[in-house]
Amino acid sequence: MSPLDQEIIRLVHWDGLSLKEVSQHLSPPSGTIRSRYHRARRRLREELDDAAHKPSNQPLP
């Protein structure tokens, strides 16, 4: 995940900012932030699902 996508996820979920507030904080247009946020959430969900289905004796990437 790109550093920008990571920051968007952090600002929304850890700092409690809205997507509009994230856009104001990071400068890209709100539509860009919204689409990046949704794609990043989908990728993160897929990675977590994959990790949950790996045998416990294998290290995570």
Residue 61 maps to a domain? no
Residue 24 maps to a domain? yes
Total domains in the chain come to 1
Q: What is the pLDDT of residues 5-24, one digit of tens each?
A: 999 999 999 999 999 999 99
Residue 59 maps to a domain? no
This prediction has a pTM of 0.77
Residue 58 maps to a domain? no
What does the pLDDT read at residue 51?
Answer: 85
Are the beta carbons of 23 and 33 closer than 8 angstroms? yes
Residue 16 maps to a domain? yes
Residue 46 maps to a domain? yes
Which tokens is 3 given? Answer: 């550093």
What does the pLDDT read at residue 54?
Answer: 77
Range of the domain at 9: 3-52
Residue 12 maps to a domain? yes
The CATH number covering residue 21 comes to 1.10.10.10
47/43 Cα distance (integer angstroms) = 6
What does the pLDDT read at residue 59?
Answer: 64
The larger pLDDT score, comparing residue 52 to residue 15, is at 15
